[in-house]
Structure 1
Amino acid sequence: MRILIAAAFLTAGFGTIGSARAQDAAIGGRVDRLEREMRAVQRKVFPGGAAQTVEPQILPETDTAVPGTPSGSALVDLGARVAALESQSASLTGQVEQGQFRLRQLEDAFNAYKRSADARLKALEDTASAVAVRDPIVPDADVAIVVPKPAAKPTPKPAETPAVKPAGTRAQQLAAIEKPATGDAAEDGYAYGYRLWQARLYPEARRELEGVATKFPKHRRASYSQNLLGRAYLDAGAPSLAAVAFYENYKKNPNGERAPDSLYYLAQALVKLKKPSGEICKVYGELSQLYGAKLSAEMKAGVERGRTEQKCK
């Protein structure tokens, strides 16, 4: 009878030890799996190598238990620690995935902005009408404004409207325009450009006038040519390019004989561009202040009419 009781106790003891060892093996497998997952996450977060990995805060403890002796409290504690480690691993994996998603969103937003900016810059470069006229009434600080002296031999100003365009093909129209040959290239170029403008052959007139203003900037006809270049643009329906030509003539050659005319027609170009009245009034004010005494009666009347239309103070 005693032998049977002892055998029963031994069987119960070995059963308890076997169950504890099974639990240890299961927990050990979970720990191994978690360690592999943590190393994978660390490689994704720190691609630089093992030197940048994060050391685990939960370190294995030295097992002081006697082999074969089960410890219920130790197993419960180890199970809780493994569960906490699993929760931390899942949280870190979720944070990594969220960071990658936000990075992709930032990259997509930046690429969209870059495409939009490139398209806007390309449109500005390709559209001639987007030329902006800088403050048209403030000359450079080192440019002295002197009222121009009358020419020794006054040259009649161009008519307010070009002459009637000649009939025939383009080639016939150009052939009908006489090209002067006096020996003065600047004088001849301006006279020929003026005749082309009168005939409303605007592209040819602009080419001739721009050549005179560029090649002979010190010649008195440079001011005439640059001003008439702006008139050719304005009459052809290109007020933006006309405004640039008028402003350039006034800025670069304020003492030129056609600088007052350029300021006057600059105001007309700004009106066609639908610029604010304040800008146009400033141009009229600058014209009257610098050149008022030398303006013709017709131009003075035009200035007063323009100031009234723009409600200048």
Structure 2
Amino acid sequence: MTLRPAAFRRPLMAAAVALLAALPLAGGAWAQSADMRDLFNRLDRLENEMQTLNREVYRGGGRSGGSSAPAGVASANPGVVAGLEARMTTLENNMQVLTGRYEEASFQLGQIREQLTKMQQDMDLRLSRLEQGQGGGLGGPPPSSAAADAAGQSREQLAAAGTTAPKPTLPTETIPDASAGTLPGGTEAEQYDYAFNLIRQGDYANAEKAFAQFVKLHPNHSLSGNAQYWLGETLYVRNKFKEAAIAFAEGFQKYPKSNKAPDNLLKLAMALGNLNRREDACAALDELNRGYKEAPATIKRRSEQERARLKCK
């Protein structure tokens, strides 16, 4: 029997707590969301139950006078062991689902932060222009047409200089490094985390490269379904809807049992909708409703919103 070590659970819980603490920065509605409260409550319950299971499983080893924990488990009642194994498997599957939901929430939070940053920059620029306009009005007359013409000529001269200046010779081949989206060394989980961190940073171009490389190197890994989905997301957020539709379709076809399969179908429909392929988009939503009746409530709700927007039958 393989037990999931505490090292797996604790970083996830810590990251979830960090995400919850950061949510008020992006808006109070996120922190008050019933879905988010349910997510963190379930994570907490799973953490407590897995700790209880670990104590039950290893209790036999503690009473056996120096024998190892696995030996104690092996000598236990087979029915008890089988029951514990079944419960542990269920908990591990639930943890995978919740991890996927945490990643989705983290991604959405990153997008909100990016939007807020752009809004702040836009406001700063507007204020700066207003201040400059007020200063010009108080300090003297507006610039003459001659000055404006001179400024226009200067811009034209700079543009001409840019077109005639010698261009640097670029190498025909470059050696990719980690900063360019190439996966670093380490375990599959570490490589996946590296790629996902690029998404958190808003570096979607390099995240695309990293996730594409991950799927190519580890097509059968348990994280490959998630990686394929996030590959599609890196394209979708940059309005590359055709490429995104291909990535989401491949994710659904290659990993139909992944916990990201419903997400793949939803985003496939959204990408197709942006390509004005309404019938195909509605077909993807039909498949989502038909094949994934146990999909998360958030996925079902967004699916219904898309059906209404696309006017699916």
TM-score of the two chains, using structure 1 as the length reference? 0.45
Higher gyration radius (CA): 1
Greater fraction helix: 2
